[in-house]
Structure 1
């Protein structure tokens, strides 16, 4: 199997069997692209993409997939056993805060019991050696402080989505301690959780997310109504946390114990931007983007959210690659090019990101 990007992550993923849950989603489709470019044997487990267009369909990658619901325990187990993955990246989730207010039961069922179903399938599949469970930076008990949350800070969650992801962290910790390193399993399975900040990048068309909302309005000639322009978030390009997930997978395969922890992946301080600042920068690269302030009542959203990623930097050697202006420029260019020329820049963005990481001397990018 040829690899367009050989040698990354110590060549760990070349010809290795890797399962992605949520491969039809925004972040999962980017991860599938990256793994395919490294020569991995990628399989996917997810519901069909729920937006048109969607990044997965535009990429049209060749992979074995099971289009099933994580809440169907028997179907999940059957699929995992059929794929026989060595590494599992769990990105499948109900990932929208506002949708979680509309359907809290479905959110908890998918994000908590869906995870339980997956981990039960992992227990029944001897080939699995490493699991990376992508949760969220919103799993912390957010007190709206400027102090960056560390992995040892208390979990919480005001909205059902955030709370469900805090629950997923606890479930992961329980399975890690009770089953996955237990001698009865036959071999230890490393399970890490990854708490990433807000991600942007081309190919996201989800409802009630900032960049997709701006894009839809720009394409239709409308004005986007912004709910909380002063809210501050740890913004990063989608490829940033994915590099962290891939580093975790590599480490877990080598040592299923040491890296089997929780990890934050987010931008440096200059990437903690207000919604208004992100919009202004995005509009500078695509003048069709226009917005106004929506003052009507909305469900609760945290005003501040900051991450401390010192642990990943010190213990994994992970660091962000693209600064905030590059992140926003690349995202705006992706959508504008897709709209104006019906072309996607995903392969270009991935290649340029890897090249930039090499220039920064990051170990994972140096073959």
Structure 2
């Protein structure tokens, strides 16, 4: 009997990593190995706890992108056929406060992963997750953004993702490794971290509904234009990336079809609340970036033409599911959550 393929997901405890693990379990026969730090919260893996405990196709391996020996151990333990490199310091606002940590984790961390794979699993198909943030401040006349648009990163996080992007392509070209790079535009849904704009809005609204805070939503820049995709569509795209005629060295934009301002997302979330008429909006200077990537609208034609992928989940369901996720979290914690 032929052994089932083995997949390695770095950052399995994140929003995307946990959804990807669930998708692969449901839609493939693969064995899933997930890399996480020893201190990573396990909340997002709650639905997989039983399988993890029974070692039923899900195996956790501890590692940190800043620890070369640990990364090597993860790769040698998992010996993957498919790799989804999702782990990162992924918060743009945080990167202004911790630029060196962001660069080390994201750029050198990716080098550590690819070097370990070059030695232990050189035939693996590897997804390196870059970001639409690499495009940064794009002139309006260049919308929608295609893969050939020049980089103009607007945060240390975005700069780190430029490095990640280039490192991925370098390993494909220099060593013939099967590396493919994606630049995912805004994607959200259940389990989205509360340091991201639309998720902190939903969290604050859930806290307001619970009576835990005053009916004020604190915000940053509401004028940025975003195209929103659902995380569950994103992980389906990532699976297709490595299984539908994968082309090493390829780079793809991936994203949704619903474009609106951050302010519109906020209003749509408020409109879902029974306390909508009471809620006020207040700009918090601490939530403003020094500069912002303010026009993020993708051209995803290259990826769609190659794989046939299309987003399926409508924007309205995405934001409703996000708000309900936070309502459930706030109820479980009885409102005892920090506003971030």
Q: TM-score with structure 1 length normalisation?
A: 0.79
Deviation at 1:173, TM superposition (A): 1.1
Q: Which residue is equivalent to 2:203?
A: 215
Q: 1:45 aligns with which of 24, 35, 41?
A: 35
Equivalent position SS for 1:273: strand
Partners of 2:15 and 2:192 within 8 A in 1: yes
Structure 1 unaligned segments of length 5 or more: list them: 1-13, 182-188, 343-367
CA deviation string 1:294-352 (max 9, x = no partner):
1636322122211111111112211111222222223223333454579xxxxxxxxxx
Q: Which residue is equivalent to 1:23?
A: 12
Q: Which residue is equivalent to 1:173?
A: 169
Q: Which residue is equivalent to 1:84?
A: 79
CA 47–128 in structure 1, closer or farther in 2 if over 3 Å, else same: farther
Structure 2 unaligned segments of length 5 or more: list them: 53-57, 334-340
Q: Which residue is equivalent to 2:301?
A: 310
User: 1:196-215 maps to which residues of 2 (within 5 A)?
Assistant: 196-215=184-203
CA distance in 2, matches of 1:128, 1:216: 46
Q: Which residue is equivalent to 1:123?
A: 118
Q: Which residue is equivalent to 2:264?
A: 277
Partners of 2:8 and 2:78 within 8 A in 1: yes
Q: Which residue is equivalent to 1:241?
A: 234
Q: 2:180 aligns with which of 171, 189, 192?
A: 192
* 1:73 equivalenced with 2:61 (yes/no): no
CA distance in 2, matches of 1:288, 1:70: 43
Deviation at 1:50, TM superposition (A): 4.9
Partners of 2:7 and 2:82 within 8 A in 1: yes
CA distance in 2, matches of 1:127, 1:15: 18
Partners of 1:207 and 1:213 within 8 A in 2: no
Count how many residue pairs are aligned between Structure 1 and Structure 2: 314
Partners of 1:27 and 1:238 within 8 A in 2: yes
Partners of 2:225 and 2:261 within 8 A in 1: yes
CA distance in 2, matches of 1:232, 1:293: 19
CA deviation string 1:153-211 (max 9, x = no partner):
222312100011011111111111001x1xxxxxxx42111111111111123335431
